[in-house]
Amino acid sequence: MKLFLSTNENNLFVQTELTDLTPKGGAAATISTNNSKKYQVIDGFGASFTDSSAYLINQVLDKDVKEDLMQKLFCHDAGIGISIVRNPMGSSDYARDFFNYNQIPKGETDFELKKFNIDCDMDDILPLTKQALDINPDLKIAASPWSAPEWMKTTESMMGGELKQECYGVYAEYFVKFIQAYAKEGLPIYYVTPQNEPLYLPLHYPSMSLPAHEATLFIRDHLRPAFDRANIKTKIMCYDHNWDRPDYPLHVFDQAKDAVDGVAWHWYGGRSIAQTQVHMAYPEMEVHFSEGSGGEWIPAFEPAFSNLMRTSIGIMRNHSKSMVLWNMALDENNGPFVPGFGKSTCRGIVKINQQTKELEYTLDYYGLAHYSKYVKPSARRIDSTEDGAVRSVAFENKDGSTVVVLFNDSDKATDVKLNQTELHLPARSALTIVY
């Protein structure tokens, strides 16, 4: 048995002996697992190589520090075994400038996509993604655009607006070319979403409106047929937005069920139970959690760590096959970000100081470790109970090992009986047990 305990910012994911968790004889909770009752197959846990993250890791860090960081991110033995990345297709809010894969002079069009290229990813994003795949051959790559190229949009800008109706077909081919270009680099794309956060239209970073009825038309009548013509097996997940609008994926599934593979969720609104509500209506559709960022809106360590553990358990208990946090790395100013962005409050998996080159592993790294290091791709979530403030989620790996993540969501320590194991769980602490 292996145990990894997190209790405070100076004690995160520390390997612990059972004798160090001797019950105190106080209030007790009972948690049980049932390996015979199985749920979703797990694809993985991870974060995103945004342009900002890739630049910081690849260009700011010294080579030996970068190599060590990549091992600690993607290697199961030396690190936490990240097994899925979701990278932006073109620039997002966390990029050093605005760019896409088909940039042409304003006023021109390119319906044959003759100017298509992925040059903007060649310096940092591709090399790091390749290195990550070399370290962890189980790595899956997802991709989402924040905006179509300017000339395809009603605003002729990467910010705001909608996709022109006459550009649905060429935008589908844009996805095809992207997937084919990455495949030539040895990087298969596992799934795409048509649009990041399609119901949110900020005007200070790349964005594009794609309501449910338009997403349905695009996926059903253009994107899936384009994939079929090109013999592309990449999956299509719809929505890619918050829990507060389950009506969106339900509409797409109702109208385009044969063309879409599932739904991707974010945590910035609503509750994770929405994942189960949609899953119950369409159990054949995959459920993924594709973005959640920590940040300065929860400034102190304890509430931030508790929020991560509480929310992540909810994500996995509500049928998600994956959990992807946001930026792999940000700097001392929570950037870099696109010009005109304003103040950033997001937190990366690691912090890289551009002035000193100092590297800091944040609470998100260790929170992710409670899952990613020992819950391997192709594991199955199994049934587990919860008792009072003690939250739980459990998994069975293909090698037969069982992984249980517990979180004491209380200001009081409690004794816990997990199956036949008795232990003491400090207040607001997380514990991963590997049998």
Burial class (CB in 10 A: 0-12, 13-18, 19+), 322: buried
pLDDT at 315 over 90: yes
Contact 330, 339 (CB under 8 A): no
CB distance 205 to 146 below 8 Å: yes
Write the CB contacts of 255 (distance below 8 Å, at least 6 apart in sequence).
213, 216, 220
The DSSP bridge partners found for residue 330 are 351
Strands 322-327 and 44-48: parallel
The percentage of the chain sitting over the pLDDT mark of 70, rounded to a whole number, equals 100
Q: Tokens 């940092």 correspond to what residue?
A: 124
Contact 149, 174 (CB under 8 A): yes
- Rounded-to-10 torsion of CA 298, 301, 305, 306: -80
- The pTM score is 0.97
pLDDT tens figures, 336-380: 999 999 999 999 999 999 999 999 999 999 999 999 999 999 999
Which of 268, 188, 246, 255 has the alpha carbon at shortest distance from 224?
255
pLDDT at 26 over 80: no
Q: Averaged over 94-118, what is the pLDDT? A: 97
Whole-number pLDDT of residue 77:
96
Average the pLDDT over 267-290 and give the result.
98
pLDDT attached to residue 1: 95
**166 pLDDT higher than 90:** yes
Q: What is the DSSP letter of 42?
A: P
Report the alpha-carbon angle 423-431-358, nearest 5: 140
Answer whether residue 404 shows pLDDT above 90. yes
DSSP-assigned beta bridge partners for residue 329: 350
Mean pLDDT, rounded, for 148-160: 97
Q: How many angstroms separate the Cα of 102 from the Cα of each of 106, 167, 241, 427?
A: 12, 13, 25, 52
Are 48 and 56 contacting, i.e. CB atoms less than 8 angstroms apart? no
Residues of the chain with pLDDT > 90: what percent?
99
32 pLDDT tier (thresholds 50, 70, 90): very high
Mean pLDDT of the chain: 97
Walk me through the domains of the chain, giving residue ranges and CATH numbers.
1-40+380-435 (2.60.40.1180), 43-377 (3.20.20.80)
184-222, pLDDT tens digit by residue?
999 999 999 999 999 999 999 999 999 999 999 999 999
* Burial of 137 per CB tally in 10 Å (0-12, 13-18, 19+): exposed
**pLDDT of 27 over the 90 cut:** no
Rounded CA gap, 43 and 216, in Å?
Answer: 25
